[in-house]
C-alpha cells in the first residue's frame, strides 16, 4: 500500500470519528461570545504528515511530525468575536522516493532515489471558535526545509555495476500556508486536521 493510499484511509477514519464526536455540539455557536474558549498556555500536537508539494524528486512523502502552539492573545485581534492568536512551530519529517531528477538519465535506475525531508515551520496561528467542540484556524508562515536524496551511482558508465550511492543535500527557507480545524473530545484533548502547502497533517492535540 503506497503512502498516498495510506494517508487517505487515515483521513477518512479520522473524519468519521470527528463527525461522530462533534455532531451534538454543532448547533451551539459561541463565535459571538468573545473569550469563551479554553484558556491554555501551551498546546502540543503530534501528527502524521503527508507532503504533496515542493518535494525533491516530485514524488509524495509521508512521516511523523509535531507542532507546539503558544497563544499570545487570549481574545483578539477582533474583540467582538471569539478568536485568539498565537505562534506555532515544530518539525515534520517525510520519507519517500523520486520519479525524476535523481541520478543521471543514462542510468538504468534514473529517478530511483530515496528522499528524506526535514521541515521546521514557524507560523502565526489565528483561531476562530465556532462551538465548544469545533474551531478553525489559518497559518501563514515560513519553514526551514532540509532535503536529502540518495541514489545509485554508475561510476563506470551506463549498464555497469553500481559503484556506490551518491547523496544530495540542500537547505532552503520556504513559504508555508495552512488552514485547518480543531475538534475537541474533552476540555483538554482533541484532534487537529491541517490542509495546505506543502503538506496535510492529521493528529491529536493536547491543551496545557
Helix (H) or strand (E) run with residue 130 in it:
none
The C-alpha atoms of residue 95 and residue 13 are separated, in whole angstroms, by: 22
In eight-state DSSP terms, residue 18 is H
pLDDT of residue 98: 73
Residues with Cβ within 8 Å of 118's Cβ and at least 6 positions away in sequence, in order, are 91, 92, 93, 145, 146, 148
- Within-domain flag for 154: yes
The C-alpha atoms of residue 100 and residue 146 are separated, in whole angstroms, by: 19
pLDDT of residue 164: 75
**pLDDT cut 90: percent of the chain above it:** 63
Can you give the three-state secondary structure of 31-71, one letter per residue? CCCCCCCCCCCCEEEEEEEEECCCCCCCCCEEEEEEEEEEE
pLDDT of residue 159: 66
pLDDT of residue 63: 97
Cell of 124: 502565526
- Within-domain flag for 36: no
Alpha carbon dihedral 146, 166, 59, 10, in 10-degree steps, equals -70
DSSP lists the bridge partners of residue 70 as 87
> Which residue range is the domain that position 158 belongs to?
3-25+43-207
- Within-domain flag for 8: yes
Q: In CATH, what number is assigned to the domain containing residue 77?
A: 2.40.160.20
- Within-domain flag for 119: yes
Query: Could you report the per-residue pLDDT of 22-67, keeping only the tens digit for each?
Result: 555 455 899 999 999 999 999 999 999 999 999 887 778 999 999 9
Query: Could you report the per-residue pLDDT of 66-79, keeping only the tens digit for each?
Result: 999 999 999 989 99
Query: Could you report the per-residue pLDDT of 60-108, keeping only the tens digit for each?
Result: 899 999 999 999 999 989 999 999 999 999 999 999 987 665 655 555 5
Q: Report the mean per-residue pLDDT for the chain.
A: 86
The C-alpha atoms of residue 22 and residue 48 are separated, in whole angstroms, by: 21
- Within-domain flag for 58: yes
pLDDT of residue 97: 81
pLDDT at 5 > cutoff 70: no
> Which residue is it, cell 475538534?
183
pLDDT of residue 48: 98
- Within-domain flag for 33: no
- Within-domain flag for 168: yes
- Within-domain flag for 158: yes
Helix (H) or strand (E) run with residue 154 in it:
none
Number of domains in the chain: 1
Amino acid at each position: 500500500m503506497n503512502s498516498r493510499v495510506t494517508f487517505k484511509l487515515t483521513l477518512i477514519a479520522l473524519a468519521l470519528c470527528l463527525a461522530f464526536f462533534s455532531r451534538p455540539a454543532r448547533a451551539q455557536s459561541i463565535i459571538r461570545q468573545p473569550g469563551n474558549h479554553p484558556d491554555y498556555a501551551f498546546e502540543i500536537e503530534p501528527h502524521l504528515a503527508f507532503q504533496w508539494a515542493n518535494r525533491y524528486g516530485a514524488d509524495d512523502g509521508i512521516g511523523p511530525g509535531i507542532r507546539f502552539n503558544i497563544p499570545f492573545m487570549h481574545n483578539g485581534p477582533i474583540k467582538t468575536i471569539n478568536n485568539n492568536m498565537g505562534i506555532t512551530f515544530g518539525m515534520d519529517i517525510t520519507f519517500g522516493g523520486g520519479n525524476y531528477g535523481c541520478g543521471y538519465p543514462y542510468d538504468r535506475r534514473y529517478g530511483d532515489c530515496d528522499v528524506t525531508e526535514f521541515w521546521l515551520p514557524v507560523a502565526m496561528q489565528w483561531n476562530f471558535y465556532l462551538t465548544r467542540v469545533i474551531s478553525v484556524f489559518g497559518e501563514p508562515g515560513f519553514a526551514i526545509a532540509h532535503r536529502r536524496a540518495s541514489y545509485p551511482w554508475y561510476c563506470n558508465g551506463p549498464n555497469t555495476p553500481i559503484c556506490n550511492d551518491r547523496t544530495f543535500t540542500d537547505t532552503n527557507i520556504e513559504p508555508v500556508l495552512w488552514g485547518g480545524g480543531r475538534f475537541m473530545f474533552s476540555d483538554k484533548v482533541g484532534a487537529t486536521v491541517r490542509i495546505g502547502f506543502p503538506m496535510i497533517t492529521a493528529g491529536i492535540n493536547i491543551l496545557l
